[in-house]
Chains A and B, each alone.
Chain A
Amino acid sequence: MSVEINQALEAIFNTGDPSMQDLANRALALKQALEQGQISPGEYKEMVTDLYHEKNINESVQDLALKENINTAMTALINLASMY
């Protein structure tokens, strides 16, 4: 089980995506905290699930940021066009 987790985390590290690597780092830290008895299994499970929610939030943040950039560009283009 531990080998599978380590392999999955290693695959995430190899993606080169900084936000995914950050999540993998935190998943690893949680695993170590569980092994050292700093958190209970229930707390561990919940906080690992939180990483999934965080990934979804990051995706929505990127989607909204893209929309904002397109909106800015469209508004500028329309303003420019209205000058002619």
Chain B
Amino acid sequence: MKKLLVILAVWSLSGCALIDAYMMARFDNNEYMLINKIRTEANLGAAKCGKPEVVAEVDGLWRTTVEFRNYTQSIPHNEEATKMGSELAEIVKGLSERYHGTEPVSMMYCTTKFSSIERNAVNIQNVIGKKPR
């Protein structure tokens, strides 16, 4: 009983942050699957830099990233994942626009972008994978 009172006391002291954390969105298989797909597509896409097939890789990556961003947005109490999805989409959007533009794309740009997308996807995947079940 005393412990319960301690918990209630702690809860009431910094209520919002604790309630926010307690109510946070749970682990979602689809959300995890989508970020894993982005990571994998970025990983495999880098090997296609400098080849004509890279455009198809970029298109697939852009589609999956938009899907991930849209999916996270409709889950309640999922603000961090939504923000991460939007920021990641901004990075991938640049890659997609450049490959559909008129200017030539340098090899270093291609490999650096895929590497950046993969690194960010790994970071996001690691934290999403630890969401409470």
Where the two chains meet, the residues of A that have a C-beta atom closer than 8 Å to any C-beta of B are: 30, 33, 38-40, 42-43, 46-47, 49-50, 53-54, 56-58, 60-61, 63-68, 70-72, 74-75, 77-78, 80-81, 84
Quick one: which of A30, A58, A64 has the most chain B CB within 10 A?
A64
Q: How far is the CB of A27 from chain B (nearest CB, A)?
A: 12
Contacts of B116 in A (CB 8 A): 47, 50, 54
Which one of A53, A64, A74, A78 contacts B80 once the chains associate, using CB atoms below 8 Å? A64
**Cross-chain pair count, CB within 8 angstroms:** 102
How far is A54 from B115 in the complex, measured between Cα atoms in Å?
12
Q: How far is the CB of B25 from chain A (nearest CB, A)?
A: 10
Contact A78 B7 (CB under 8 A): yes
How many residues of chain B get a CB closer than 8 Å to chain A's CBs? 38
Give me 15 A-to-B residue pairs in the complex whose CB atoms sit less than 8 angstroms apart, sorted by A's number.
A30-B112, A43-B98, A43-B105, A43-B106, A46-B98, A57-B88, A60-B80, A60-B87, A67-B21, A68-B130, A70-B17, A71-B132, A74-B18, A78-B7, A81-B3
CB within 8 Å of A: which of B33-85? 80-81, 83-84
Where the two chains meet, the residues of B that have a C-beta atom closer than 8 Å to any C-beta of A are: 1, 3-4, 7, 17-18, 20-22, 24, 80-81, 83-84, 87-88, 90-91, 94, 98, 103, 105-106, 108-109, 112-113, 116, 119-120, 123-124, 126-128, 130-132
How far is A54 from B90 in the complex, measured between Cα atoms in Å?
10
Q: A50-B90, A65-B127, A81-B3 are in contact. List 4 more A-B contacts (CB 8 A).
A: A39-B112, A56-B83, A71-B22, A80-B3
How far is A43 from B111 in the complex, measured between Cα atoms in Å?
12
Contacts of B106 in A (CB 8 A): 38-40, 43
Contact A65 B130 (CB under 8 A): yes
